[in-house]
Structures are given as structure tokens and as C-alpha cells.
């Protein structure tokens, strides 16, 4: 059974940093392109970025709202995905989901339960 | 960036109704489109990918169609478990989601 379990969420002040982790099991993690998707309270879904497999270069892509502030990384030895969030803004307040991308396609067949990040003074 | 626009934003329907949700892309995305269902407090669930392929385990009352810039999600006979919010997502160029369509009880 595929499981994605996020951790590390919480309350942080504007301008602060936070790192989320996603522990993966039930599939071959090092073969998976992984993404983060967030959802602000009462709002829709927003893609936050992805990381390719190490074999495919381990490269990352980010949308404009988080580029330069967020960094996705992976530790294949620990089957863990990370999201480092710096220079946080109040508009980054959201539930952050770890997602498994199907093959090299960017649709998401498995999702974690989500981790709430609140940016507030 | 590719923009995705869903309509309607909210849909009121009764059990047994046929329901159709539309998703439009700002440029052609071929059939690189997925649909998700989300219930309050839960993670989204994949329903359909490649515009019309049903994910394993998803009831056959769900269907998807379209290509290029116009897509539809149809629920042939709405069931009580189907009241939820539905999102389309393009994966032709990176990822963009539609704003969502809430299907509520009439």
C-alpha cells in the first residue's frame, strides 16, 4: 500500500523558514517524480513544484509564486521528500500535500494527508 | 503559463441527475488533463487521466472527454457519495489546476 506521510508543519512568522518532510512507502521511491501541491484555506489547489528522479538528473521546477524561496529535495536512502520554505509570506498559509507523479507525467495518483503551514505574526 | 477555467463554480443537483463540468485551457494541451475529486478535510483523489482514462477503482458513472482546449467531466447518475469539489488539472506544461467546481445537494 502506497503511503505518503507529511510532517513539519506549524506556525511561523512572516520572513521565517520551515521544512516539510514526506515519508514515502509502498513504492520504489527512487523511481518516482514527486511534487508538492498546496491549498490555502477555502481555496483551490496550487502546484508548488516537483523533483525528478536522481536518474533523470534530480532537477527541480517551480512556479513563479515560490521560485527562489522554496526548494524541493529528496533523500532516496531514506525514502523521503523535503520542501524547504524560506522568506515565508502570509499568502503561503496552506495545507501542503506531498504527491506521487505517475511515471514522468505530472498527474498525481497518490497524495499524502497534508500538513498545515500557517504564516502569521 | 497555461490557465485552466472550470464552469460552473457551483452546481446544485439531486441524486440520480446527470452532471457535467467543463474545463477550458488557455492553449492546447492535447489530452494531458486529469480530474480529481476532493471532499472536505481530505486529500484530492484522482478520477481520470489523459482526459478520458478512468483510474482503477473509480466507478464507471464517471467519464471524461475532450481534447485541445475543451474538456468535460460527466457523472451519469449522481450518487450521495459524489457531493464534493472537482478539479481539472493540465500536465502538458508543468501543472495548473482549475479553480474547482463544488457539486452540492439541491
Per-residue model confidence as pLDDT tens digits over B57-72:
999 999 999 999 999 9
Pairwise pLDDT comparison (B105 vs B18), residue with the higher score: B18
Identify the pLDDT of residue A105.
Answer: 83
Identify the pLDDT of residue A103.
Answer: 82
Q: Which of B1, B95, B100 sits opposite A44 (nearest CB)?
A: B100
Task: State the average pLDDT over residues B9-26.
Answer: 98
Q: Which of B1, B36, B94 sits opposite A106 (nearest CB)?
A: B94
Write out the residues of chain A at the interface with chain B, using a CB-CB cutoff of 8 A: 35, 37, 44-47, 50, 61, 63-64, 97, 102, 105-109, 111-114
Q: Is the pLDDT of residue A49 over 90?
A: yes
Residue to mutate among B10, B43, B47, with most A CBs inside 10 A, is B43
What is the C-alpha to C-alpha distance for residues B48 and B57, in angstroms, rounded to an integer? 11
Q: Is the pLDDT of residue A115 over 90?
A: yes
Residue in A closest to B46 by C-alpha: A109
Q: Cα–Cα distances in Å, from A116 out to A21, A59, A97?
A: 12, 26, 9
Pairing relationship of beta strands B70-75 and B62-67 according to DSSP bridges: antiparallel
pLDDT digits (tens, 9 = 90+) for A57-106: 999 999 999 999 999 999 999 999 999 999 999 999 999 999 999 888 88
Mean pLDDT, chain A, whole residue set? 97
Of B77, B65, B70, residue with least CA distance to B13: B77
Residue whose entry in the numeric block shows the C-alpha cell 505518503: A4
Segment holding A2, helix H or strand E: none
Cβ atoms of A38 and A94 within 8 Å: the answer is yes
What is the C-alpha to C-alpha distance for residues B60 and B33, in angstroms, rounded to an integer? 18
Amino acid at each position: 500500500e502506497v503511503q505518503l506521510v507529511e510532517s513539519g508543519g506549524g506556525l511561523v512568522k512572516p520572513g521565517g523558514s520551515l521544512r516539510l518532510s514526506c515519508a514515502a512507502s509502498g513504492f520504489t521511491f527512487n523511481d518516482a517524480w514527486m511534487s508538492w501541491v498546496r491549498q490555502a484555506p477555502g481555496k483551490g489547489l496550487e502546484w508548488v513544484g516537483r523533483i525528478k528522479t536522481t536518474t533523470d538528473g534530480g532537477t527541480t521546477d517551480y512556479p513563479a509564486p515560490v521560485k527562489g524561496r522554496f526548494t524541493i529535495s529528496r533523500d532516496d536512502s531514506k525514502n523521503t521528500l523535503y520542501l524547504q520554505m524560506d522568506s515565508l509570506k502570509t499568502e503561503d498559509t496552506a495545507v501542503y500535500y506531498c504527491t506521487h507523479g505517475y511515471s514522468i507525467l505530472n498527474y498525481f495518483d497518490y497524495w499524502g494527508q497534508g500538513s498545515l503551514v500557517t504564516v502569521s505574526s | 503559463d497555461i490557465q485552466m477555467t472550470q464552469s460552473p463554480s457551483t452546481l446544485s443537483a439531486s441524486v440520480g441527475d446527470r452532471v457535467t463540468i467543463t474545463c477550458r485551457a488557455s492553449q492546447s494541451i492535447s489530452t494531458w488533463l486529469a480530474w480529481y475529486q476532493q471532499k472536505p478535510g481530505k486529500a484530492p483523489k484522482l478520477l481520470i487521466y489523459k482526459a478520458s482514462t478512468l483510474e482503477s477503482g473509480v466507478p464507471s458513472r464517471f467519464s471524461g472527454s475532450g481534447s485541445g482546449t475543451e474538456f468535460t467531466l460527466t457523472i451519469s447518475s449522481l450518487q450521495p457519495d459524489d457531493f464534493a469539489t472537482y478539479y481539472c488539472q493540465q500536465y502538458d506544461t508543468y501543472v495548473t489546476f482549475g479553480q474547482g467546481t463544488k457539486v452540492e445537494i439541491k
